[in-house]
Structure 1
């Protein structure tokens, strides 16, 4: 595919970089990435090692000593250039996000736009790192406070937003004078490599040192745990399940590190008798099936007033029947695949639990097969009638189940 070539994605790729340079490790195993869209092989990635991580950390420590002394507005200028470079590569990067992860092309392009938007926001913030000045009780003295960068910060991102979450963290960290290490999900490493290649162009154009924007693709049990336990990492931003976040919080807080945790969500919408269903129904459907239900903000539960229950139910069933499920690069389709077959199994298991507790599946819940669905990752989104006390209702299911 042409967008792979444009983004610098080769048939085989290395998994750790300090900016322009890539470590050449091959000993930690190779991730073979297949698209959930059609099941076809995209490319492979050699995972980074603990030795690579240590090398990146040493480089990042040196880069921080330089970067923290660059005036904040000039750091903002670099971020502005990154935003402009992302504008140049918006279409190919958005296409890769869609093809590698399975979300719709519009959502893939929207993710890159979010990266661009946060760059613009961060540029403004680079001139707004204000501090207070205060009168002192001592003659001829004045007190003031001043923000200082934390140092090395790490972004651990999830598969459902392969690039946007990284940018939200890294671009704000950059204008604050921090250097960033990014550990993306091993399910979508190619989007991360493409992003690193784009940023590297800006680093080269400005003759900046290695170590400001770092990337490592590696095992959570090794590299991930090293990050959580490493006292040199001042802050860890984790996007993932509540279980992952709980573990990260325990480990990082034990060393008095800082965390930003963006975790799961068992989100509900309440529909009252006064609700405008012309607005509410499309919102519910998009919230439930967008990104195939694989968002922390996905709609999981719908609580409906009894006086309009049947009317809402009929409207939802009609809307769900009109959904087109298929290749997310085809903009006529509304929903693409789940990320992989493990996610499909989780979807089916959750529906079995619903039925075992007495719930009723009133729409969907099947794995779709046939032409165009060869990856085995496509499902028909499910609508379930359930009681609030069911155990399955109490937790997030990362799939299109309403």
Structure 2
């Protein structure tokens, strides 16, 4: 597998981008320069889309066993190069070893699920209201899919779209986030090149959003744009795509609620909340953002939660027992520190952390938080826990639904029906009883409601997103067109 990631990948060739811009990729923990890449220009992007369009026509006709064989080989290449992938995730995205390892496994799971798609391109034969007619429905690929991958779970959230797209007969042009051009983009060119994917089917263009960001959406070739990232950017992509009548699969921001009811197992809820809040420094769209605790158990929960949070190891993500690594860049750190300061000014109490060393923000806990404070109103995307008290189920539900996001969530109760009843009333695409909000399984529908996005990934649901249907009818016997024709005789 090629590990020189200083070039873009277009039509099966590694080459320098033709933009005048050079992009430097740095380690967010120590600032070390990892690679410098000559960025792709609009002309490069156009060439990538044209190569994809040309290659896709033959790929769509490829036998299912041959499509599956390429995906299976890609899984083999990934397994052979696991250590290389983990190292890049740690040094490029600030992933801890634990997070990088689980991200690799999640990516392998989605790739293995995708190997089944070539045999799941099912059609139907349906009855007709016209005598002698047969109705057929065929499922086929969309054509070319444009993918824009994020920096937080770059490897998994890129392959989540790449593998299903290729498996269903599409070609791909991928633009990774500028903070993670390797683990969110170029590393896949290397993997699928080694797996024998025909040239032109996967193209990776590394470039500034300001230079090619809009063009990847508005270019006439792609029929669907798959984007994972912020709601603000997703809304802009949706507007551009809608203007050009393109489909979108958008997985956007979240302000996820974690509700601890008065009958919850407190110890279980504390462990669950710690994982859902601090895993990957809280830089996950599904991360716990607001922790609502019933007043009757608030003090006990807060004491136990803070005591365990103190034990989280933070710092160098390459140390295998590290729990919390660096944020992706200093801008994220400064943004969060401002929200902490604003919330303390509003009456919240800083009980743990609140300090940063370079891009490493200490695990932080705020108590006596209200739902309208900055740390609750905004998506934190960092290792800061906001503990919010409530007095009744109705109040918790109202606060959970107060903001225009609906991605994931969690409810804790020792009574399953009690917890399930509350969970049903949270307006969200995904929610988990007696667990935390960070869950993703390759065969389950992944996606949000409201400002958290459009569409669903994984399983049969991504199959619906990345394919299209054609109605073809066959008139087996001459059709009687009634008076329209009979009057002509």
Do both share a fold (TM > 0.5)? yes
Higher helix share: 1
Counterpart CA distance in 1 for 2:320 and 2:266 is: 25
- Whether 1:257 and 2:246 are equivalent positions in the alignment is yes
Identify the residue that residue 130 of structure 1 maps to in structure 2.
Answer: 122
Counterpart CA distance in 1 for 2:321 and 2:382 is: 21
Residues 234-276 of structure 1: CA deviation (Å, up to 9, x unaligned): 0001111110111111111111111111111111111112212
Counterpart CA distance in 1 for 2:15 and 2:321 is: 41
Among 174, 183, 203, the alignment partner of 1:214 is: 203
Aligned length: 383
Counterpart CA distance in 1 for 2:351 and 2:37 is: 42
Counterpart CA distance in 2 for 1:161 and 1:257 is: 25
The structural deviation recorded for 1:364 is: 0.9
Among 189, 198, 213, the alignment partner of 1:196 is: 189
Q: TM-score, normalised by structure 2?
A: 0.75
Describe the shift of the 1:31–1:170 C-alpha distance in structure 2 as closer, same or farther (beyond 3 A): same
Contact 1:7 1:93 in 2 (8 A): no
**Coordinate RMSD, CA, aligned:** 1.6
Among 377, 383, 387, the alignment partner of 2:370 is: 387
Among 4, 8, 13, the alignment partner of 1:9 is: 4
Higher strand share: 2
Identify the residue that residue 400 of structure 1 maps to in structure 2.
Answer: 383
Counterpart CA distance in 1 for 2:35 and 2:255 is: 34
Structure 2: runs of 5 or more not aligned: 386-489
Query: What is the SS of the residue equivalent to 2:25?
Result: strand
Among 104, 107, 117, the alignment partner of 2:96 is: 104
Residues 341-369 of structure 1: CA deviation (Å, up to 9, x unaligned): 1111112111122123332222111013x
Contact 2:11 2:52 in 1 (8 A): no
The structural deviation recorded for 1:135 is: 2.3
Among 275, 291, 294, the alignment partner of 1:302 is: 291
Identify the residue that residue 469 of structure 2 maps to in structure 1.
Answer: none
Contact 1:91 1:109 in 2 (8 A): no
Contact 1:381 1:401 in 2 (8 A): yes
Q: How does 1:45-64 map onto structure 2 within 5 Å?
A: 45-64=37-56
Query: What is the SS of the residue equivalent to 1:22?
Result: strand
The structural deviation recorded for 1:307 is: 0.6
Bigger drift between 70-79 and 289-298 goes to 70-79
The structural deviation recorded for 1:389 is: 2.6
Structure 1: runs of 5 or more not aligned: 1-5, 369-375
- Whether 1:43 and 2:26 are equivalent positions in the alignment is no
Among 206, 219, 223, the alignment partner of 1:234 is: 223
Identify the residue that residue 72 of structure 2 maps to in structure 1.
Answer: 80
- Whether 1:247 and 2:236 are equivalent positions in the alignment is yes
The structural deviation recorded for 1:322 is: 0.7
Residues 13-37 of structure 1: CA deviation (Å, up to 9, x unaligned): 11x2125302323543222222122
Among 316, 334, 346, the alignment partner of 2:335 is: 346
Describe the shift of the 1:239–1:106 C-alpha distance in structure 2 as closer, same or farther (beyond 3 A): same
Describe the shift of the 1:38–1:7 C-alpha distance in structure 2 as closer, same or farther (beyond 3 A): farther
Q: TM-score, normalised by structure 1?
A: 0.91
